[in-house]
Amino acid sequence: MTLFGFSRAQTIAFGILLILIVVSPLVLYPIFLMQVMCFSLFALGCNLLMGYIGLLSLGQAAYFGMGGYITAYAVQSLGVTPEIGIVLGGLTGAALGTVFGWLAIRRTGIYFAMITLALAQMVYFFAVEAPFTGGENGIQGVPRGKLFGLISLNHDMAMYWLVAAIFIAGFLLAHRIIHSPFGQVVKAIRENEPRAISLGYRNEQYKWLIFILAGAFAGVAGGTKSLVFGIATLTDVHWPMSGEVVLMVLLGGIGTTFGPIVGALIVIAMENYLASFGAWVTVIQGAIFMACVLVFRRGVIGEIGHRLKQAL
């Protein structure tokens, strides 16, 4: 069975995922599930960087947040249809990723992380000042509109199927990227960069393209999220959001296929159910972060895969 390059175990896991997507809105809030899927998409992009080419970006919030702003602005003020809005969000993420990636790939390791963080901070300041983002208030009351100008998305379940479609497409795309010849080179660069260079691969172009892809994933995720909630705010573009997505990847399992989804599910569920405890959510997140680094570096899916001796 080589559907999309899935292994047997991955095909089963993918089947379970599809069943869960269909069944879970019957028992859980669609809004919550949509949030999980948006963040999964965000984390899948981040995992391309962290897991497969070995670059830690601490600035992913910039692409997520700006994607959200552009989608919200385009749908609300320019009156475009939601699918165009989301595409614009993704293009925004990709465009920002193109420029910032071009700068950031000049350094590696911690410098790369600090550069991405600093560039994202610049985007944050821009979002605070720029008139179209609405500053502290953000862009509120964004209409979901009609898909292709035909299907109203105001009903949560209509929106749910759209988000699910985007999520599955994104998931399969991420998986396809990794299991393409391009993806093999990307992993080679992660494992041994000097050797990949000596084999004639232009490592910087691979890093750059992965960075742009991660930005595009973040942009689509941010744009979709802004339509789900009808709001785009500074929270999505601020640095803790960059940390959150890294936490999702770390918790789910760096460099695993299904890890980012599980990580997003856990983090978002925690935020929703602990929301009444206020800043304790941050404390718990920080503690989980530390625990993952110290004793649980494989993450949930990584650990399960390790036990089952299967790549998930």
Among 11, 81, 98, 108, the residue binding another protein under the rule CB under 8 A is 108
Asked if 98 interacts with another protein (CB under 8 A), we say no
Asked if 287 interacts with another protein (CB under 8 A), we say yes
Asked if 192 interacts with another protein (CB under 8 A), we say no
Locate tokens 């809004």: which residue? 31
Output the CA–CA distances (angstroms, integers) from residue 272 to 36, 98, 243, 264, 303, in the order listed. 11, 34, 17, 12, 25
> Considering only residues 54-83, where is the footprint of another protein by CB under 8 A?
56, 58
Q: For residues 58 and 232, which CB has a smaller minimum distance to another protein in the complex?
A: 58
Among 81, 98, 272, 282, the residue binding another protein under the rule CB under 8 A is 282
Phi, psi of 152 (to 5 degrees): -70, 135
Structure tokens at 271: 């935020």
Asked if 216 contacts 93 with a C-beta cutoff of 8 angstroms, the reply is yes
Among 109, 135, 157, 195, the residue binding another protein under the rule CB under 8 A is 109
Q: For residues 124 and 206, which CB has a smaller minimum distance to another protein in the complex?
A: 124
Q: For residues 30 and 65, which CB has a smaller minimum distance to another protein in the complex?
A: 65
Asked if 107 interacts with another protein (CB under 8 A), we say yes
| Local structure of 64: helix, strand or coil | helix
CB of 73 to another protein, least distance (A): 20
Q: For residues 127 and 186, which CB has a smaller minimum distance to another protein in the complex?
A: 127
Taking the C-alpha atoms of residue 106 and residue 101, their distance in angstroms, rounded to an integer, is 9
Asked if 139 contacts 133 with a C-beta cutoff of 8 angstroms, the reply is yes
Structure tokens at 241: 């959001």
Asked if 289 interacts with another protein (CB under 8 A), we say yes
Asked if 245 interacts with another protein (CB under 8 A), we say no
Q: For residues 201 and 239, which CB has a smaller minimum distance to another protein in the complex?
A: 239
Taking the C-alpha atoms of residue 259 and residue 263, their distance in angstroms, rounded to an integer, is 6
Asked if 127 interacts with another protein (CB under 8 A), we say no
Taking the C-alpha atoms of residue 75 and residue 101, their distance in angstroms, rounded to an integer, is 27
Asked if 74 contacts 88 with a C-beta cutoff of 8 angstroms, the reply is yes
Q: For residues 94 and 104, which CB has a smaller minimum distance to another protein in the complex?
A: 104
CB of 22 to another protein, least distance (A): 35
Nearest to 259 by CA among 38, 90, 43: 43
From 122-130, 166-174, 189-197, 226-234, span contacting another protein (CB under 8 A): 122-130
- Identify any residues that bridge with 232 across adjacent strands, giving them in sequence order: 139
| Local structure of 65: helix, strand or coil | helix
CB of 33 to another protein, least distance (A): 26
Asked if 38 interacts with another protein (CB under 8 A), we say no
Asked if 256 interacts with another protein (CB under 8 A), we say no
From 17-25, 40-48, 77-85, 237-245, span contacting another protein (CB under 8 A): 237-245
Structure tokens at 198: 């000596």
CB of 305 to another protein, least distance (A): 20
Structure tokens at 168: 């599955």
Structure tokens at 35: 């949030």
From 30-38, 124-132, 229-237, 299-307, span contacting another protein (CB under 8 A): 124-132
Burial 73-82 (b: 16+ CB within 10 A, else e): bbbbeeebbb
Asked if 48 contacts 41 with a C-beta cutoff of 8 angstroms, the reply is no
User: Rule CB under 8 A: which residues touch another protein?
Assistant: 56, 58, 103, 106-111, 113-115, 117-119, 121-122, 125-126, 128-129, 239-240, 243, 246, 250, 278-290, 292-294, 297
